[in-house]
Amino acid sequence: MTYVRKKACKSTSVISDPHANFLVVSVILHSKDCKPPTINIANYYNRLQNRNWRTCNQSTDSLDPLFHEIFTLADLVAGDMNKHHPRWQAGCQPSQCAQNVVDISNAANFRLANNPNTPTSYPINNNRPAILDLIFFNQEQITVRNWHTHLEHKALDHTPISYQAWPKTGTHQEYKVHTWKNTNWA
């Protein structure tokens, strides 16, 4: 789930077709500019139909056919990718599906915001921590900084991730979330 601080945006609108596992929202930010800056944010959950992420022969990854569309519509793509690749987790063998995401994001000039090798998922079954929650951004359109996980606020097997993002054009105001515990997620 992607959370945008309410005070930071003037308005939002859904710009993607309905889909069970992803949503692209256009966020118009507060600004004194005549044309306020906008960021298009895609939130996704790449649900696995088969728990074996190493195989991609079957249609195990529900969003694979849509990644071109998602990276075309959005400036920032964030969510539970359920993909393993050495670009974000050293030493792992990538599946063809994970390599496809890397190729598509590179072709769209997107950069990975994650700090490499920083786990975002701690399986309940005590398997090795993994990097499954990824944030990609179009480096020509927006800037992302201060990416970090909050292990102290882990829910089930994923940790919250926070970061700051803003468009490279126009003026904007900066807002900070001071505490996770006091945030109203409703």
Q: What are phi and psi of 74, to 5 degrees?
A: -105, 155
User: Over the stretch 26-37, which tens digit does the pLDDT of each residue have?
Assistant: 776 766 666 667
User: Over the stretch 129-156, which tens digit does the pLDDT of each residue have?
Assistant: 888 899 999 999 999 999 988 888 777 7
Tell me the domains of the chain and their CATH numbers.
Answer: 6-167 (3.60.10.10)
* Interval 95-99 mean pLDDT: 83
Q: How far apart are CA 16 and CA 20, in angstroms?
A: 11
Contacts of 134 by beta carbon, 8 Å cutoff, 6+ apart: 77, 78, 79, 81, 83, 88, 112, 114, 120
Q: Are 125 and 89 spatial neighbours (Cβ–Cβ below 8 Å)? A: no
Question: Looking at residue 170, what is its pLDDT?
Answer: 62
Question: Looking at residue 41, what is its pLDDT?
Answer: 85
Q: How far apart are CA 117 and CA 9, in angstroms?
A: 32
Its pTM surpasses 0.85: no
Q: How many CA atoms lie within 13 A of 169 on its CB side?
A: 10
Average pLDDT of the chain is: 75
